[in-house]
């Protein structure tokens, strides 16, 4: 009897709209608005609406499942609205693709953890350089959030500053600037980092370079004087005197052919704990290390990048130092000075701009370490590590290409 029923599309359409495809089809399938209750004479066509009991059963069953949105059918999820059109007032359960459970971790929570991890370095910086450090931080963070919001508005995109990634970039930028950085330095840094480093590539996830490092390099090249004007740390920054960092001293001595110069007398323990001149958040290697360990513990970064990078730096600089200690600094010097710790734990580990697999990340980390030492020893910039990571960022796509995971059941290893 069903096959000969001319009204068949009606009830059928109303009954079969389950699953993602079905949900889409339901509205069109229901063109003849024949609701199940209006077909008491041939209620049997409505298959799942028990034929013997006919129409009255339909509303009963739709109201059945507990307190779900119920007969109105339109109260629940967006799906419910679609279903309502199909004239079958079914209770609305959310339809979505599997899996139906998820690990409770989001981009936002990762970014918040990164900010928390930067707290020790930030506090040490504020203690050593005083209230102006806070101004630098606020300018950089505010600048980055502002550039991202305005930029996304201008490009007609959804504003996503709430994901926290711009705030992380801002804080990292602030921590890598000289403690007395002028306001415009911060502003240009924010513009370069978020604008040039992130938005032009399509926003979070598509940037090939770490935005904070890109900003720092842009500033280093454009404003070398301002970017190398440092002060001595002192409680709350009260007794600050203009000075140079150990890396700057080494650089200068090397260029003038004076061997190691004053850098040879660097107090390495002070450099580790935080008593030597440097960028706002880079004076205390210990504070940065603490934050890095926190991120490792939380599982947001992998040990391979920091260990590979710092290990390579130590190994290569150690070889030279062992060979000729009069002309090369010991490995410990390279690990505790400059941005070594901050970059190794917070910037080189940037998920977006580092390789996808462990094998790739090790290659990337070794490359970063090697380039850092090469530039520090023979290059023209004291802040070698930023250039090193930037260069390796550019190599990530090719690294990824040759370090794909082994495919289950594939005979060949690696490659695509």
Partner 1 sequence: MIRRFRSFFGGIHPQYRKELSATGAIETLPLPDQVVVPLLQHIGKPAEPVVKVGDTVRTGQVVGTASGVVSVSVHATLSGTVTGIATIAHPSGREVKGVVIESDGADNWIDLEPCEEWPSLPPQAVRERVSAAGIAGLGGATFPTHVKLSPPEARPVDTLIVNGVECEPYLTADHRLMLEHTGQVVAGAVLVSRVLGVSRVIFGIEDNKPDAVQAIEAEIRRVAGSSAGFEVPVTVGVLPTKYPQGGEKQLIAVLTGHEVPSGGLPVDVGVVVHNVGTCAAVFDAVRHGRPLVERVVTVTGEGLKRPGNVRVRLGTPARLLVEHFGGMVGEVGKVVFGGPMMGVAQYNLEVPVIKGTSGILIIPRDHIDTDDIRPCIRCSACIEVCPIGLLPNMISVCAEMRAFGESEQYHPFDCIECGCCSYVCPSYRPLVQMIRFAKTEVQHLKAKH
Q: Which stretch binds partner 1 (CB under 8 A): 105-113, 139-147, 171-179, 215-223?
A: 105-113
Question: In this complex, which beta carbon is closest to partner 1, that of residue 79 or of residue 181?
Answer: 79
d(CA 18, CA 174): 53
Binding string, 206-245, against partner 1, x = CB under 8 A? x---------------------------------------
Nearest-Å Rg of the Cα atoms of the chain is 31
Nearest Cα neighbor of 118 from 389, 342, 350 is 342
Q: Which stretch binds partner 1 (CB under 8 A): 259-267, 313-321, 378-386, 408-416?
A: 408-416
Give the count of residues interacting with partner 1 (CB under 8 A): 72
In the list 7, 27, 50, 379, the residue contacting partner 1 (rule: CB under 8 A) is: 50
φ and ψ at residue 243, rounded to 5 degrees: -155, -175
Q: How far is CA 291 from the centre of its chain?
A: 16
The burial of 172, by beta-carbon neighbours within 10 Å (0-12 exposed, 13-18 middle, 19 or more buried), is given as buried
Rule CB under 8 A: say whether 41 interacts with partner 1: no
Q: How far is CA 236 from the centre of its chain?
A: 32
d(CA 392, CA 384): 13
Q: How far is CA 162 from the centre of its chain?
A: 13
Q: Which stretch binds partner 1 (CB under 8 A): 16-24, 120-128, 184-192, 222-230?
A: 16-24
Question: In this complex, which beta carbon is closest to partner 1, that of residue 60 or of residue 239?
Answer: 60
Rule CB under 8 A: say whether 74 interacts with partner 1: no
Question: In this complex, which beta carbon is closest to partner 1, that of residue 206 or of residue 297?
Answer: 206
Question: In this complex, which beta carbon is closest to partner 1, that of residue 56 or of residue 405?
Answer: 405
d(CA 284, CA 253): 24
Q: Which stretch binds partner 1 (CB under 8 A): 197-205, 226-234, 242-250, 331-339?
A: 197-205
The strand pairing partners of 243, in sequence order, are 230
Placement of tokens 């199940």 in the chain? 36
Query: Cβ 342 to partner 1, closest distance in Å?
Result: 20
Rule CB under 8 A: say whether 154 interacts with partner 1: no
Question: In this complex, which beta carbon is closest to partner 1, that of residue 206 or of residue 402?
Answer: 206
| Residues numbered 268-327 forming contacts with partner 1, rule: CB under 8 A | none
Question: In this complex, which beta carbon is closest to partner 1, that of residue 43 or of residue 133?
Answer: 43
Structure tokens at 274: 């935080």
d(CA 358, CA 37): 61
Rule CB under 8 A: say whether 66 interacts with partner 1: yes
φ and ψ at residue 172, rounded to 5 degrees: -60, -40
Find all residues with CB under 8 Å of 263, minimum gap 6, and list them: 246, 247, 249, 250, 253, 329, 333
Binding string, 329-368, against partner 1, x = CB under 8 A? ----------------------xxxx-xx-----------
| Residues numbered 17-36 forming contacts with partner 1, rule: CB under 8 A | 17-23
Question: In this complex, which beta carbon is closest to partner 1, that of residue 2 or of residue 222?
Answer: 2
Query: Cβ 24 to partner 1, closest distance in Å?
Result: 10
φ and ψ at residue 221, rounded to 5 degrees: -75, -40
In the list 40, 325, 397, 405, the residue contacting partner 1 (rule: CB under 8 A) is: 405
Question: In this complex, which beta carbon is closest to partner 1, that of residue 258 or of residue 351?
Answer: 351
d(CA 406, CA 416): 9
Placement of tokens 């139906």 in the chain? 100
Going by the DSSP 8-state scheme, the letter that residue 414 receives in this structure is: S
């Amino acid at each position: 009897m069903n096959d000969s029923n001319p009204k068949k599309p009606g009830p059928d359409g109303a009954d079969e709209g389950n699953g993602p495809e079905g949900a889409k089809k339901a509205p069109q399938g229901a063109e003849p608005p024949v609701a199940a209750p209006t077909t008491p004479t041939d209620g049997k066509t409505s298959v799942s609406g028990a034929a013997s009991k006919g129409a009255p059963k339909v509303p009963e069953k739709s109201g059945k499942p507990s307190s779900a949105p119920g007969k109105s059918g339109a109260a629940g999820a967006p799906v419910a609205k679609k279903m309502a059109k199909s004239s079958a007032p079914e209770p609305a359960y959310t339809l979505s693709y599997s899996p139906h459970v998820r690990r409770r971790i989001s981009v936002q929570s990762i970014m918040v953890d990164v900010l928390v991890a930067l707290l020790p370095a930030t506090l040490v910086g504020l203690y050593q350089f005083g209230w102006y450090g806070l101004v630098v931080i606020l300018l950089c963070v505010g600048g980055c959030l502002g550039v991202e919001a305005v930029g996304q508005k201008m490009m007609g995109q959804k504003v996503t500053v709430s994901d926290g990634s711009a705030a992380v970039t801002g804080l990292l930028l602030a921590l890598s600037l000289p403690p007395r950085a002028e306001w415009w330095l911060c502003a240009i840094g924010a513009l370069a980092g978020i604008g040039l480093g992130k938005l032009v590539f399509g926003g979070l996830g598509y940037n090939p370079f770490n935005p904070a490092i890109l900003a720092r390099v842009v500033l280093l090249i454009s404003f070398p004087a301002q970017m190398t004007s440092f002060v001595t740390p002192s409680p709350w920054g009260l007794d600050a005197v203009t000075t140079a960092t150990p890396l700057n001293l080494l650089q200068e001595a090397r260029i003038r052919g004076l061997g190691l110069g004053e850098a040879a007398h660097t107090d390495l323990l002070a450099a580790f704990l935080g008593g030597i001149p440097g960028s706002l958040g880079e004076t205390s290697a210990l504070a940065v290390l603490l934050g890095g360990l926190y991120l490792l513990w939380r599982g947001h970064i992998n040990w391979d990048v920091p260990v590979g990078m710092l290990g390579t730096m130590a190994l290569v600089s150690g070889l030279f130092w062992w060979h000729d200690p009069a002309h090369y600094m010991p490995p410990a010097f390279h690990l505790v000075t400059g941005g070594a710790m901050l970059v190794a734990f917070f910037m080189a580990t940037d998920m977006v701009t580092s390789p996808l697999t462990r094998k790739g990340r090790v290659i990337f980390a070794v490359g970063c370490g090697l380039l850092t030492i090469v530039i520090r020893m023979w290059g023209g910039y004291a802040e070698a590590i930023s250039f090193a990571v930037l260069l390796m960022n550019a190599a990530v796509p090719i690294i990824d290409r040759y370090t794909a995971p082994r495919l289950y059941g594939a005979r060949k290893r690696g490659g695509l």
